[in-house]
Amino acid sequence: MPSGCAEQYPAHDGDALRALVQRFVREIGLLSSDRTPCGRPIAVSHAHALMVLLEHRRAGLEPTQRELGQVLGIDKSNVTRLCRKMERAGQLVQQRDAKDGRMRLLALTERGVRLAASVERSSRDRFQRLMGAVRHEHRGAVLSALGVLNEALAASATPAPPDRSGRDSRDAADLEPQPRGRDDADAASTPRRESA
């Protein structure tokens, strides 16, 4: 860290980390609900879902809703709502797993692949510009520090709270919901116009 920076933040390590992460989150644009840090007019979770599914497609894999939710770090209701939104927009196909009919396998449509690839390019460009603004001698330290922070996050992660049935909420993320008509989440969410 350049000299003098520590004076701008609280002396306690945890408070200093909190202040730095909060500043980064705000300045890169992660608090926007309808735009990614790279400027795409979709929610951050939607953009990340597209890129995760694109990576799986390249590897010849079809993840389940639960697996997608685990990668994104979102709960089953949010991943279900996100998948339905992507399906309505023609970006995603959900089909039952032949081995377990309760499971839903996810695959991008051609439209979804095009949008995902476009989002991925924008994301790469944004982070290349960001790294380009870091002095060359500090780049290794930045990457190393983020790697250490990711490891610390994994080590300090807490289990997801159980759902109303008493099961871990992550375990039921991709199970077929019981028919009950249009749920509140669908009624409250309307598809936002996407640009590929």
**Domain made up of 42-132+139-144+169-177: CATH architecture:** Orthogonal Bundle (1.10)
What is the residue-averaged pLDDT of the chain? 81
* pTM across the whole model: 0.70
Residue 20 pLDDT > 50, yes or no? yes
Closest CA to 119 of 193, 32, 54: 54
* Count of CA atoms in the C-beta half-sphere (13 A) of 148: 7
The tens digit of pLDDT for each residue in 55-64 reads 999 999 999 9
- State mean pLDDT over 141-152: 95
Predicted local confidence at residue 104, as pLDDT: 87
Burial of 69 by CB count in 10 Å (0-12 exposed, 13-18 middle, 19+ buried)? buried
For residue 99 the two structure tokens come to 């081995």
Task: Tell which residue, 145, 173, 184, 154, has the closest CA to residue 49.
Answer: 173
Structural domain spans, the chain: 42-132+139-144+169-177
pLDDT of 106 above 50: yes
Q: What is the pLDDT of residues 156-174, one digit of tens each?
A: 876 655 555 555 544 444 4
For range 135-140, the mean pLDDT: 96
Q: Which residue has the higher pLDDT, 161 or 190?
A: 161
